[in-house]
Structure 1
Amino acid sequence: MDQIKACRSFVRAVELGSLSAVAREQHSTQPTVSKTIAALEKQLGVRLLERSTTSLTTTEQGKRFYERAKRVLEEFSEAVSDARGLTEKPTGLLRVNAPLGLGQLRLNALVLEFLELHPEIEVELILNDRFVDLVEDGVDVALRLAGSLPPNMIARKIASAQRYLVAAPAYLARHPEIRRPEDLASHRYIGFARPANGEVSQLSGPGGTVQIATRSGYLVNSSLAIRESFLMGAGLGICPSWLVHDLLESGQLRRVLPGWSAAGQEASLLYPSRRYQSLRATIFMNFMTERIPQLPGFSAPHFGR
């Protein structure tokens, strides 16, 4: 049995979720792929996959073997490329995870630009606002915004974004004027739903740093929904500059208390803390490290804080 071929079939079966998909990719047949993986399981003495007529799932042993086998295949591929002098042409699938709002508003265009530069790389961009387990979900690179970073991960800080108060002109016209942070207590606040945050916000400005109690009638776990709520004049709130930069430029939103701001938001690239990092992942991270600070609302990262 060709162990490299068998491992590759198993890894792709996990990633594609279907033996038929692997067969199509390898220009083979589903029974052939099934027999290859069955032979691998027999040699290992463990069941790697649970098969049914409608689904394909990994066993606990299969999950652990997948992570190790994937790294082995990546190293083997890079070794072959290096021997052939092809390391300047990275290939293969790259799974990337990022927040939904940032992904739709800013990151999607960058990924397409990256693919134009590296057409032999495939990117699967997974957008959601939850903290995924990079290893368990098979993610090569993740982009994270602020918050505590997962353990056992390597983090590279690549950009910073200011955070400040914004509201629509229509909202401001209908409510009492805001001249100082204390005035915010009587206004309708829209914020990101984080149970541990409560309803206390911290602002820094000419008078130092103050904590203000805000009256929240609406909390939502989507930055895109927050952006839309501001536009609808539903309230005011603190948000990162990348989320509303275009709306401020067009006058659809205005800064409230422009001399005051909240703590900035840091953008970091994360990848599993393992010895080997594929060439395609390294090139992707270098590209994002250069391009994200150039996006509207972002700047080079601030260190030493």
Structure 2
Amino acid sequence: MDTIRSLRCFVRAVELGSLSAVAREEGTTQPTVSKIVAALERELGVRLLERSTTSLQATPQGMRFYQRALGVLAEYQEAVAEARGQTETPAGLIRVNAPAAFGQFCLNAMLAPFLARHPQVDIELILDDRMVDLVKEGVDIAVRQGRELPPDAIARLAGSSPRQLVASPDYLRAHGKPKQPQDLARHDYIRFAWLADGDLLTLYNGEHTETVPTRGRYRVNHALAIREALAAGGGIGLCPLWLVQDLLDSDALVRVLPRWHGQEQPLHLLSPSRRYQPLRARLLLDYLAEQIALLPGYNAS
């Protein structure tokens, strides 16, 4: 029996809750994975998984074995990496998850040079605004904006993007420029659709903080749509600079109330909370951290 493969199949079965999902990852069939796990159970003399027609989960003994198996696999991978030393070549699949707008606008272009540099590496980029379970969904690296992070992941701060009020010159010519934060209540305000504070906007100016009501008839759940609506003269919006810095540089947008700003938007690179990461994932983490720090509208971490 291939013990390492058996442990890997068992661990992923627990994490994915499906032998078919493990089979897809391994490039084999569900009956083959089932036989591998069954052989491991026979060798141990313990039932590790409870199977039904609709679900699969670890038994109490299986969950304890799962925790130990994670450590064994991590030690094995570290030993392999150490034995290979400098001769190790990055190879294999890296699964990356990122927010839709940032992935489309910034991240997508970063990955082609990395792939060209490492011809034996494959990347699967999934653009998704929800907070995914890295382990369950087999994600190697997740890009996340904002301050809410999963407690069971390793987070690396890659940079922060200031957030500024912006509008098009045409909009301001037609509607006038706000002189103070309270004036925003008389303007068309474009915002993200699902904000916890709703129409309330908190702005900062040194030690001064103002929370003001806004009024807007247009709300949207995609940052690139907000960008386009602002450039088209639809209103005023609070945007991270990574999203609009090029439009500010070309004067398609201008800053509104420039002494006031929103809370900075941090960007973190997340990886599963395991001690060992494959060389390919470590290299991509370092590469992304370097490239994000160079993006217009980002302050390096």
Q: Could you state the TM-score of these two structures normalised by the residue count of structure 2? A: 0.80
- Preserved contact between residue 94 and residue 281 of structure 1 (Cα < 8 Å): yes
Contact 2:49–2:57 (Cα < 8 Å) also in 1: no
CA deviation string 1:99-137 (max 9, x = no partner): 111111111122222222223333222221112222232
Matched, 1:59 2:56: yes
Distance of 1:294 and 1:123 partners within structure 2: 22
Say if 1:67 and 1:135, in contact at 8 Å, map to a contact too: no
Structure 2 counterpart of 1:172 = 172
8 Å Cα contact 2:159/2:292 also seen in 1: yes
Aligned to 1:261: 261
Q: Does 1:100 align with 2:104?
A: no
Greater shift, 71-80 or 259-268, is seen at 71-80
Match of 2:294 in 1: 294
| Residue range with higher mean Cα deviation, 202-211 or 6-15 | 6-15
Structure 2 residue ranges without an equivalent (≥5): none
Task: State the shift of 1:280 in Å.
Answer: 2.7
Q: Which residue of 1 aligns with 2:152?
A: 152
SS in 1 for 2:275: coil
Matched, 1:45 2:42: no
Matched, 1:187 2:191: no
Q: 1:189·1:216 contact (CA, 8 Å) conserved in 2?
A: yes
Report the AA paired with residue 97 of structure 2. N
Residues 199-278 of structure 1: pairs in structure 2 closer than 5 A: 199-205=199-205, 208-278=208-278
Contact kept in structure 2, 1:8 and 1:73, CA below 8 Å = yes
User: Take 2:111 and 2:74, find their aligned partners in 1: how far apart are those partners?
Assistant: 22
Q: 1:8/1:154 Cα in 2 relative to 1: closer, same or farther (>3 Å)?
A: closer
The DSSP-based 3-state class of the residue aligned with 2:216 is strand
Could you tell me which amino acid in structure 1 is paired with residue 57 of structure 2? Answer: E
Judge conservation of contact 1:19–1:34 (CA < 8 Å) in 2.
no
Distance 1:58 1:292, change over 3 A: farther
Structure 1 letter corresponding to 2:224: L
CA distance in 1: counterparts of 2:222 and 2:34, whole angstroms: 41
**1:235 offset after TM fit, Å?**
2.0
The answer to whether the aligner puts 1:17 opposite 2:21 as a matched pair is yes
List runs of 5+ in structure 1 lacking aligned partners.
Answer: 52-56
Q: Provide, for residues 117-169 of structure 1, a one-character-per-residue CA deviation record: whole Å limited to 9, x for no partner.
A: 22333322222111222223222222221222222333222211111011223
The alignment's C-alpha RMSD in Å is 3.3
State the TM-score, normalizing by the size of structure 1: 0.80
Change (3 A) 1:209 1:46: closer
Give the C-alpha shift of residue 207 in structure 1: 9.3
Kindly indicate whether the alpha-carbon contact (under 8 Å) linking 1:146 and 1:267 is maintained by their aligned counterparts in 2.
Answer: yes
The count of aligned residue pairs is: 292
Identity of aligned residues (%): 48
